[in-house]
Amino acid sequence: MSKITEKTKREVAYWSYAAWSLPFAALALITFSYFIGYETWFHKSLVVITTLFFGTSVFWWWWALHKLLYIIKSMEETAIHLGIVKKDITDVKEDIRKSGSNRKRRKS
């Protein structure tokens, strides 16, 4: 696999770990601060968690858009290269057809 594929796999794994663990940690912090009775801690926790979740979602969104753009560019380059290969195959086919018309085929 290419370096970009490995890097993307690693990044997706990190985002996956964050998506599984951070909401539970935030829920635990909110629950803990609510039941302890510290109203200021509860409100501060809500503000911090909301800010972190919003910031994380914005960073994830831009990361996903850049990966999508990279995939689209890669697909476009692949289409161009496949067009070149198709043209080369057609050229070879024509060359074989032209050279084969001068030769007689033997019957089997």
DSSP 22-87: HHHHHHHHHHHHHHHT-HHHHHHHHHHHHHHHHHHHHHHHHHHHHHHHHHHHHHHHHHHHHHHHHH
Give the mean model confidence (pLDDT) for residues 87-105. 81
Q: What is the pLDDT of residue 90?
A: 93
Tokens 């919003």 map to which residue?
Answer: 54
Q: What whole-number percentage of the chain has pLDDT above 90?
A: 14
Distance of alpha carbon 46 from alpha carbon 58, whole angstroms: 18
Per-residue exposure over 38-58, b if at least 16 CB sit within 10 Å of its own CB, e if not: eeeebeebeeebeeeeeeeee
User: 101 vs 40, which has greater pLDDT?
Assistant: 40
Q: What is the pLDDT of residue 15?
A: 81
Q: What is the pLDDT of residue 105?
A: 58
Q: pTM for the complete prediction?
A: 0.54
Segments making up each domain of the chain, as ranges: 3-72
Q: Which of 66-75, 77-86, 93-102 has the lowest mean pLDDT?
A: 93-102
Give me the amino acid identity at 105. R
Do 4 and 70 touch, CB atoms closer than 8 A?
Answer: yes
Q: What is the pLDDT of residue 87?
A: 95
Residue 61 has pLDDT above 90, yes or no: no
